[in-house]
């Protein structure tokens, strides 16, 4: 039950008890007034009856004196007294119904009748005296019957006063008892009112003052320690405590806002540090796989509430090829054409989530298009790739600034890697044939020999030269010669099938290193190359440029040469093949070149 309801009930009960106490006091006052009225009535009756009783004797004495003394003045005094007595009788007659009982009224009526009879006898005696019948008047006033009537009047008034006193005593006792009871009841009600008031006062002090103050004190102490998770009590009092609770609530809300801003600042700072660390790691990457690994390591932490995909543009087929994904289910890594992405077409970040209405990207599934974020990876005004995100929390806006910064950093890293690979390819690969050049030969050969030593296997080396290549150039031109070089390089690559490494050793010479391949296997490969070259129609400008043949020399380590002269042994074998008619294969044996059937 609410405190306001309890206080209202207590207030109503207090008012009722107060009113009841007031009514009790009022009734007690009425009882006292009744008691005083009864006493006053008794006094009035006593005074009148005594006065009438005295007047009865006084009138009798005056009437007798007038008879005895024969004095007219006394007679006049009696008449005056009689008139006054009539007034008193009338007054008594007016009071006799004021609370008197029937027995009292009967006795009072008897006394008044006896008094009237006495007065009548006195008038008769006075009249007789005035008419000269003095003796008759004297006899009448001094007769036994007159004395009996006078005694009757005295007895009647005495009895009336006795009954009146009894009734008055009873009324006084009853009024006193009632007044005492009512006063006691009033005192009890006043006591209950006081107790109820004290209880309500204590209850209010405890629940409306002490408890809220203690609660607010605990909240203030926790807020002082920056514990903003504490809940402030909902106090709606329109008083100082309510104002204090409201102020504390505002202070807590401000603290929460400040804490939230600090957390966002800290998270922002951590994101910036992650982005800077990712930039430094990308600067140290020397391959696409390292860049992809760095992206998958850092991107889920920089953009934690979104799954992502990294696409790289494949220039040969003009498709965006997915090379990495994170925080997404498997199966969404298909390639797509660049024109299917609005970010790639516009050259800017594209996110339908940012605007109420926007065009979805065709490469994103329809159910995810509203939550997709695409950022093109552009370096030197060229599209290199694409970062695609799927926001897992649409109710919160993703950090677009960090997405764009990450895209810029990643685009620069990919562009640098592409440039690095291009320079490396130009430095280590022949631009015409696509084969490795002599720049990388020493390192490759040394590594192959060390591996053969470690695995106790063999290492073969094959030297190949195009026969009469100078004559071909002089006859058909250098472009035709380049065409022959290119096609023979393709034939060699087709025969190798990743079983060795081919180099363009010189102008028309090729060198092939074949790890873990013995003499027989190497010879079989050489025969395949020889046959494929001889059977391949060489054309230039839709014309056959004559039959083309090659001479091949081969050597096997450690059977035919030491590790440091394996290439020289194969070259010497090639020299003997050319000296002995070209279009044939020669094998170096025990550092001595021997003829072998071609």
Contacts of 210 (CB under 8 A, 6+ apart): none
CA-to-CA dists, residue 333 to 273, 297, 303, angstroms: 29, 18, 19
**What is the spatial order of strands in the sheet that 585-589 belongs to?**
501-504, 509-515, 459-466, 550-557, 585-589, 592-594
CA distance 525 to 533: 12
**What is the spatial order of strands in the sheet that 372-379 belongs to?**
319-326, 306-314, 382-391, 372-379
DSSP string, 518-555: -HHHHHHHHHHHHHHHHHSPPEETTEE-----EEEEEE
Q: Is 321 helix (H, G, I), strand (E, B) or coil?
A: strand
* Structural tokens at position 145: 């019957």
* Three-state secondary structure string covering 513-526: EEECCCHHHHHHHH
Dihedrals φ, ψ of 347, to 5°? 80, 15
Assign 3-state DSSP to the chain and report helix, strand, coil percentages, each to 5. Answer: 65, 15, 20
Element (H, E) at 76: helix 72-95
DSSP state, 303? S
The interaxial angle of helices 3-69 and 144-204, nearest 10 deg, is 170
Q: Which of 549, 567, 554 is nearest to 438 (CA)?
A: 567
CA distance 322 to 333: 5
Q: Which of 179, 168, 158, 173 is nearest to 39 (CA)?
A: 168
> Any bridge partners for residue 589, and if so which?
592
The position carrying tokens 């897992």 is 392
Can 120 be counted among the known catalytic residues? no
* Three-state secondary structure string covering 122-139: HHHHHHHHHCCCHHHHHH
Q: Which of 38, 36, 31 is nearest to 168 (CA)?
A: 38
Locate all alpha helices (DSSP H) within 205-235, ordered by sequence: 211-224
For residue 327, is it left (φ>0), alpha (ψ between -120 and 50) or beta? left
Decide: 121 and 149 in contact? Cβ < 8 Å. Answer: yes
Catalytic residue (choose from 397, 508, 527, 531): 508
Q: Which of 87, 83, 89 is nearest to 59 (CA)?
A: 83
Q: Which of 353, 364, 352, 348 is nearest to 396 (CA)?
A: 353
CA distance 596 to 598: 6
Decide: 502 and 436 in contact? Cβ < 8 Å. Answer: yes
| End-to-end CA gap in the chain | 113
The catalytic site residues sit at: 508
């Amino acid at each position: 039950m609410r405190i306001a309801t309890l206080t209202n009930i207590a207030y109503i009960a207090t008012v009722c008890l107060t009113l009841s106490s007031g009514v009790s006091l009022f009734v007690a006052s009425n009882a006292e007034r009744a008691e005083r009225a009864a006493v006053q009535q008794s006094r009035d009756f006593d005074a009148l009856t005594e006065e009438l009783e005295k007047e009865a004797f006084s009138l009798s004495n005056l009437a007798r004196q007038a008879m005895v003394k024969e004095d007219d003045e006394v007679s006049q005094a009696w008449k005056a007294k009689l008139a006054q007595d009539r007034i008193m009788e009338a007054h008594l007659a007016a009071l006799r119904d004021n609370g008197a009982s029937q027995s009292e009224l009967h006795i009072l009526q008897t006394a008044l009748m006896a008094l009237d009879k006495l007065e009548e006898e006195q008038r008769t005696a006075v009249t007789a005296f005035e008419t000269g019948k003095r003796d008759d008047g004297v006899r009448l006033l001094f007769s036994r019957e007159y004395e009996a009537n006078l005694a009757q009047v005295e007895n009647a008034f005495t009895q009336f006063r006795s009954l009146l006193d009894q009734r008055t005593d009873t009324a006084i006792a009853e009024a006193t008892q009632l007044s005492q009871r009512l006063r006691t009841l009033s005192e009890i009600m006043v006591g209950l009112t006081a107790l109820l008031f004290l209880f309500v006062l204590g209850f209010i002090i405890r629940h409306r003052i002490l408890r809220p103050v203690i609660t607010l004190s605990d909240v203030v102490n926790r807020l002082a320690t920056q514990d903003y998770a504490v809940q402030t009590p909902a106090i709606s009092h329109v008083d100082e405590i309510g104002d204090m609770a409201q102020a504390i609530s505002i202070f807590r809300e401000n603290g929460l806002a400040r804490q939230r801003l600090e957390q966002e600042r800290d998270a922002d700072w951590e994101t910036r540090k992650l982005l800077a660390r990712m930039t430094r790691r990308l600067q140290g990457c020397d391959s696409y796989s390292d860049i992809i690994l760095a992206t998958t390591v850092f991107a889920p932490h920089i953009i934690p509430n979104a799954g992502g995909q990294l696409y790289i543009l494949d220039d040969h087929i003009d498709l965006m090829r997915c090379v990495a994904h994170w925080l997404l289910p498997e199966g969404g890594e298909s390639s797509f054409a660049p024109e299917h992405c609005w970010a790639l077409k516009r050259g800017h970040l594209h996110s339908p989530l940012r605007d109420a209405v926007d065009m979805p990207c065709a490469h994103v599934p329809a159910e995810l298009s509203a939550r997709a974020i695409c950022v093109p990876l552009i370096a030197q005004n060229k599209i290199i790739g694409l970062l695609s995100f799927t926001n897992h929390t649409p109710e919160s806006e993703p950090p677009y600034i960090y997405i764009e910064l990450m895209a810029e950093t990643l685009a620069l890293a990919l562009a640098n890697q592409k440039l690095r690979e291009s320079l490396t390819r130009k430095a280590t690969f022949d631009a015409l044939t696509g084969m490795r050049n002599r720049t990388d030969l020493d390192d490759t050969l040394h590594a192959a020999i060390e591996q053969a030593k470690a695995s106790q296997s063999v290492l073969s080396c094959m030297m190949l030269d195009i026969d009469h290549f100078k004559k071909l150039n002089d006859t058909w031109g250098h472009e035709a010669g380049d065409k022959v070089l290119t096609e023979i390089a393709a034939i060699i690559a087709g025969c190798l099938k990743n079983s060795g490494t081919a180099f363009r050793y010189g102008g028309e010479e090729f060198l092939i290193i074949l790890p873990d391949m013995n003499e027989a296997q190497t010879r079989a490969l050489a025969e395949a190359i020889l046959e494929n070259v001889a059977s391949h129609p060489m054309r230039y400008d839709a014309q056959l440029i004559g039959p083309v043949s090659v001479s091949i020399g081969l050597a096997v380590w450690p059977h035919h040469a030491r590790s440091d002269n394996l290439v020289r042994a194969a070259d010497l074998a090639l020299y003997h093949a050319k000296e002995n008619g070209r279009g044939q294969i020669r094998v170096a044996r025990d550092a001595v070149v021997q003829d072998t059937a071609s």
